[in-house]
Amino acid sequence: MNIFHHIRDKVEKALKTLAGRGVLPEDTDFSHITVEAPRDPAHGDVTTNAAMVLAKPAGRKPRDLAEEITALLRDDPDIGSVEIAGPGFINMRLSEAFWPRLMDAVLELGEAYGRSDLGQGLKVNVEYVSANPTGPLHVGHCRGAVFGDALANLLEETGHEVTREYYINDAGAQVDVLARSAFLRYREALGEDIGEIPSGLYPGAYLKPVGKALAEKYGDSLRNMPEEEWLPLVRDFAIDAMMDMIRDDLAALGITHEVFFSERTLHESGLIDDTIRELRERGLVYEGRLPPPKGKPPEDWEDREQLLFRATEFGDDIDRPLVKSDGSYTYFAADVAYIRDKLARGFRQLVYVLGADHGGYVKRLQAVNRALSGGEAELVARLCQLVKLFRGGEPVRMSKRAGDFVTLRDVVDEVGPDVVRFMMLTRKNDAPLDFDFEKVTEQSRDNPVFYVQYAHARICSVLRNAREELGEEVFASAGRPDWSLLKDEAEMTIVKRIGEYPRMLEAAAKAHEPHRVAFYLQDLAADFHALWNKGKESPHLRFILKDQVDLSLTRLAFLRAIRYCLANGLHLLGVRPVEEM
């Protein structure tokens, strides 16, 4: 039950009637019409800009057109009153008979309240995290991980067919460095004194268990091999170990990807070769030269003829090289093949959740998508800004030396997955985020995680109490809630907020902005806390009133509806609603 869709249908029906009468052109475009809640509740429950948007095509003044539209809406039983305001807004107040239907629907739908078919089953691939398999995830990965996961949930909830995917960068030089680093730890495990880890190798202690495991598996047989023989063995072993670790870290945050896609398989299966052949056939590549990079001294710049993708024809600033000077493929070449593969798997929306430092990469990805999908698919890139860590207001210092960085696991272990997940979504993705270890575990108003959880727990507390206070027999013989008993302004504020939930989810999904769910939950929690406290000054507003059973039962049903809304939103964010604090 989405009240805004409901009213929109009525408005569009009225507009079609007007089109039939010749007031509007037959082919009028309705796409810019909004049907939404006005910012000021005094303006009513639902407002539409239809008259203002269509005034020009109709060749009439907005307020005149509004008159014609309202005449057709006025008799609708769901609409209590209609008014024209300001430059031509049509403000509607829903009839008293309408709200009970909404509340009944919320209770009936329960955990399904908010789901929609907005996406029409569109196949969406959400790629997120995709960290190099060379070490544990650090805090920097946290935000993208949580953002991507919440976005995937959000899209799923709004009717998209979602695949969560992780791209494993297991083909480049950095995994050879990983192999050499692991080999050193292997020699260490065999009793050798390896001294200090040479610069250029990964110094982290997390490779020690890998070295030990290698020693157990291979004994000292690797030690006598030439590098070209042991390296592939050690590399594959180490990558597997790193990916196991990464999967564990993600699991600790409640994140599970459906597909882990290996870059190396693109090389080995010949998919990149195929892709480049196809590009050649379609005339999308050519041999050419690039200008040297600007802004940087071109130290080792070598002007050469190379194979270039015609990215500029698809909106990029410069054509992009596919082959390195040593003849191997660039990272970009693999990415082209990867996009081609995603399209071949039927995805029509490719979502990339990236760190802000990859901003420069977006245009070329979009160029590839345009070239290969011919406009059939959309590529959406979302950039996550970095997270600054604090402890009691003081910045947490991290030095890259000796692997002394804060890992994702450190953070989750200290404050818990729910706090991490919620906090990561309390800011728009492209705004920097401060994360203070002390503040996020504080139990106070300025900690949004706590604030929302507390509202949920309070509701559960009342629901628990009610059984004792009112007696089991009251519940056994309870009829349907009489929603007309909810008359107070604070109660109606909440009813309307609940009504906005489905629309908020759709807007968030369209914009790919899961943080809106977090903000909505804070608003709903605030509405609830306000009502709670109002019950202190005005005892008749309390939820449990022993001498008014029908009213109490209705308010308890009301609480269950609020609870569904809070819990559903929290679930989307991957945060567990708690029943007690």
List binders of RNA among 149-208 (CB under 7 A): 169, 171-174
User: Closest separation between CB of residue 159 and RNA, Å?
Assistant: 17
Interface region with RNA, contact rule CB under 7 A, candidates 42-50, 70-78, 248-256, 401-409: 42-50
HEC secondary structure over 392-451: CCEECCCCCHHHCCCEHHHHHHHHCHHHHHHHHCCCCCCCCEEEECCHHHCCCCCCHHHH
Between 198 and 315, whose beta carbon lies closer to RNA?
315
| Residue from the set 6, 38, 254, 341 that interacts with RNA by CB under 7 A | 38
Token digits for 508? 């968030």
Q: Which of residues 16-35 bind RNA (CB under 7 A)?
A: 34
Between 36 and 67, whose beta carbon lies closer to RNA?
36
Express the helix, strand and coil content of the chain in percent, nearest 5 each: 55, 15, 35
Interface region with RNA, contact rule CB under 7 A, candidates 8-16, 243-251, 415-423, 437-445: 437-445
| Residue from the set 20, 25, 219, 293 that interacts with RNA by CB under 7 A | 293
3 state SS of 263: helix
Between 39 and 401, whose beta carbon lies closer to RNA?
39
Site string for RNA, 213-252 (x = CB under 7 A): ----------------------------------------
| Residue from the set 16, 529, 560, 571 that interacts with RNA by CB under 7 A | 529
Between 47 and 153, whose beta carbon lies closer to RNA?
47
24 Cβ contact list (under 8 Å, min separation 6): 15, 18, 54, 57, 58
Q: How far apart are CA 433 and CA 333, in angstroms?
A: 33
User: Closest separation between CB of residue 301 and RNA, Å?
Assistant: 3
Q: Phi then psi for 320, rounded to 5 degrees?
A: -115, 135
Site string for RNA, 464-483 (x = CB under 7 A): -x------------------
Between 397 and 536, whose beta carbon lies closer to RNA?
536
Which position has the token pair 């990469």?
A: 361
**37 forms part of the interface with RNA (CB under 7 A):** yes
| Residue from the set 7, 88, 118, 185 that interacts with RNA by CB under 7 A | 88
Between 114 and 211, whose beta carbon lies closer to RNA?
114
**292 forms part of the interface with RNA (CB under 7 A):** yes
| Residue from the set 96, 227, 404, 580 that interacts with RNA by CB under 7 A | 580
User: Closest separation between CB of residue 218 and RNA, Å?
Assistant: 26
**52 forms part of the interface with RNA (CB under 7 A):** yes
Do 527 and 494 contact (CB within 8 A), yes or no? yes
Interface region with RNA, contact rule CB under 7 A, candidates 84-92, 184-192, 196-204, 405-413: 84-92
Q: How far apart are CA 546 and CA 113, in angstroms?
A: 30
Token digits for 499? 């009504």
Nearest to 143 by CA among 400, 343, 428: 428
**487 forms part of the interface with RNA (CB under 7 A):** no
Nearest to 138 by CA among 269, 250, 1: 250
User: Closest separation between CB of residue 430 and RNA, Å?
Assistant: 4
Q: Which of residues 307-326 bind RNA (CB under 7 A)?
A: 317, 321, 324-326
Q: Which of residues 124-153 bind RNA (CB under 7 A)?
A: 132
| Residue from the set 147, 186, 230, 451 that interacts with RNA by CB under 7 A | 451
Q: How far apart are CA 48 and CA 248, in angstroms?
A: 49
* # chain residues binding RNA, by CB under 7 A: 103
Question: What Å distances lie between residue 74 and 68, 95, 149, CA to CA?
Answer: 10, 11, 44
Q: How far apart are CA 296 and CA 308, in angstroms?
A: 22
CA R_g for the chain: 29
| Residue from the set 21, 296, 397, 540 that interacts with RNA by CB under 7 A | 296
Q: How far apart are CA 251 and CA 129, in angstroms?
A: 13
**1 forms part of the interface with RNA (CB under 7 A):** no
User: Closest separation between CB of residue 41 and RNA, Å?
Assistant: 11
What are the DSSP calls for 466-516, one per residue? HHHHH-HHHHHT-----GGG--SHHHHHHHHHHHHHHHHHHHHHHHT-THH
| Residue from the set 430, 438, 482, 489 that interacts with RNA by CB under 7 A | 430
**280 forms part of the interface with RNA (CB under 7 A):** no
Q: How far apart are CA 274 and CA 263, in angstroms?
A: 15
Q: Which of residues 326-365 bind RNA (CB under 7 A)?
A: 326, 330-332, 356-363
**390 forms part of the interface with RNA (CB under 7 A):** no
Between 209 and 298, whose beta carbon lies closer to RNA?
298
234: Cα separation from own chain's centroid? 36
